[in-house]
Structure 1
């Protein structure tokens, strides 16, 4: 019996800039995706109750409407993974986006290869068969408490093997802590490590990410045993609870 290969992921590119849509769509096609170029929310919702989309790539600043509100609506109605495109100077909107659960952010102008890598990572975490890979024998794994982070697959796993979903920013923050355990890390260092797409954020961004990460890795987030605060200094990651 012949098995049918997984279909290529369909990505809705929602942006009012026709040139950017064309550029991103061409990039996606070259890398095995099926792009769906849309100028606004009305075009997306016109696709009907089953839009046939695997991921929505949304410009934060859509002309005449809020890309953030569109992202929230798409998430609530269709449960799709969301990646936001943002411009510099949108700090508060980025923070709100993080708090509302956007899977990832890319700041314009972006590196094409990084965009493709980010989209694949988000789709893999969502379980799309075209980008899901088997567990590698040589996976690098860090264990702390009852959890483990598989660096090769970029997955946070419980003891029973089930995955705890992380956004790209949450993953990068946790991996950095695990690479630098038992050391007090200043907030400025964490912002720098998160890269150029997040380095322009206000300090509150780190607070938001720390809060979200604690909810996922700590038994009692308000009393963390791994991801601890050192008031006035920064944060420290304790691998083994005392």
Structure 2
């Protein structure tokens, strides 16, 4: 069991950055904290590293020679759930939001302190563990039912009271599953970020309200289903039946 300040022993990180100075800084600092680092200067070779060993987390530069780090992150997310932390020299919020939506789990802007990088790695490890625990519980559940809605866990789809069926994206399903696991309980934005594995970044902390608005619209929820508690969070305000 990890404490808030610890990491699993033998943790292995893949670092993809073309700057030798950055590679040396990160490898030395993380190595001093018991973390093994494999470095690459570009996207070529990532598949080989992933096939040869267990990688716990990927640190990926936003701008690589002839490559877009966001494109690499998007391709990785299609085949892997390994946490991805993007390093970038860009400070625009829109750029960070795009990266998070394409599959990155966190963003760190250059220049950064190694201590902050380590803290973000620890946070990603905790969130990944929490998500794995939730996924394990979800594997035992077939359906959630509430107030005329039915959520099929295996298909990640929803049948509305009207009979219409809609498919949910991973982000939408994970957010809904976080609510369904704790019905009629107040959940803070931070709890929803952790439980749903929506990106625990300042950008997403502000925009989780947008994510919830999209979910309400897609599933035709009225305001009484997911109730906003101003300044504190949200409550999934109806009883939920679980079918295993």
**TM-score, shorter chain, exceeding 0.5:** yes
Question: Given the superposition, is the C-alpha separation of residues 92 and 36 from structure 1 closer, same or farther in structure 2, using an over 3 Å criterion?
Answer: same
> Which residue is 2:119 aligned to?
117
Give, in whole Å, the separation in 1 of the partners of 2:57 and 2:198. Answer: 16
Q: Which structure 2 segments of 5+ residues have no match?
A: 1-6, 131-181, 238-244
CA positional deviation for 1:67: 0.3
User: Take 1:59 and 1:221, find their aligned partners in 2: how far apart are those partners?
Assistant: 39
Aligned to 2:104, the other structure's residue is in SS state: coil
One of 53, 61, 64 as aligned partner of 1:62: 64
Please list every run of 5 or more consecutive structure 1 residues that lacks an aligned counterpart in the other structure.
Answer: 129-142, 174-189, 191-205, 229-234
Q: Map 1:116-135 onto structure 2 (within 5 A).
A: 116-127=118-129
Report the alpha carbon displacement of residue 14 of structure 1 after superposing the two structures with TM: 0.6
- Correspondence for 1:166 among 171, 193, 198: 198
1:166 & 1:27 partners in 2: Cα distance?
28
The question of whether the paired residues in 2 share the 8 Å contact of 1:17 and 1:39 is answered with: yes
Q: Find the aligned partners of 2:47 and 2:9 in 1 and give their Cα distance.
A: 22
Query: Cα–Cα, structure 1 residues 144 and 91, in superposed 2: closer, same or farther, change >3 Å?
Result: same
Cα distance in structure 1, aligned partners of 2:114 and 2:233: 36
**How far does residue 117 in structure 1 lie from its aligned partner after superposition?**
0.9
Q: Paired residue for 2:14, among 6, 9, 12?
A: 12
TM-score, normalisation: structure 1: 0.59
The within-5 A match list for 1:88-167 is 88-127=90-129, 145-148=184-187, 155-156=191-192, 163-167=195-199
Cα deviations by residue, 1:136-189 (Å, 9 ceiling, x for unpaired): xxxxxxx9943545x9xx7549xxxx943232226983xxxxxxxxxxxxxxxx
1:218 and 1:120, CA in 2 relative to 1: closer, same or farther beyond 3 A?
farther
Matched residues in 1 for 2:221 and 2:57: separation?
Answer: 33
TM-score scaled by length of structure 2: 0.59
